[in-house]
Amino acid sequence: GAGFLLAKGLNSEAFPPVSSRAPGAIGWRELMAGEWKSAFAFYEKLFGWTKAEAFEMGPMGTYQLFATGAEPVGGMMTKPDAIPVPNWGYYFNVDAIDAAAERVKAAGGKVLMGPAEVPGPMYILQCMDSLGAYFALVAPKR
């Protein structure tokens, strides 16, 4: 399965809450699972997640959204064979995806995929930073 860490801060006042839509905050969570139905059952028991809308993606299978309240906060699917191990990906909020793509390249990073429109409508980019770490971006406009 995909690794994850549970942590509790020492001082609840150390960090003020961040708006889920604030630029730089995590706007979407995505699990490429070994098998999404079993993974969902695990996280449902662990966190109380609920299923939201699901999208059938043909040969890629089902993309299942999950929610922690009224709104979906992420999605999961069974990973394609080309992805060697299950993993979590996080999409950081930006204001506009095209401008963010230019900033990624100007800073020495690479755009691996996108921009692509996803339901919402939202726009995503999957990127690599200048040191080789994967990250992704999400925005409400191009």
**pLDDT tens per residue, range 27-60:** 999 999 999 999 999 999 999 999 999 999 999 9
Q: What is the pTM of this model?
A: 0.83
Residue 63 has pLDDT above 70, yes or no: yes
- Classified by CATH at the fold level, domain 94-142 comes out as 2,3-Dihydroxybiphenyl 1,2-Dioxygenase; domain 1 (3.10.180)
Same fold, 27-88 and 94-142: no
- At 45, the amino acid letter reads K
Q: Where are the domains of the chain?
A: 27-88, 94-142
Q: In this predicted model, what pLDDT tens digit does every residue of 71-114 receive, in sequence order?
A: 999 999 999 999 999 999 999 999 999 999 999 999 999 999 99
How far out from the chain centre does Cα 79 lie? 14
CATH topology of domain 27-88: 3.30.720
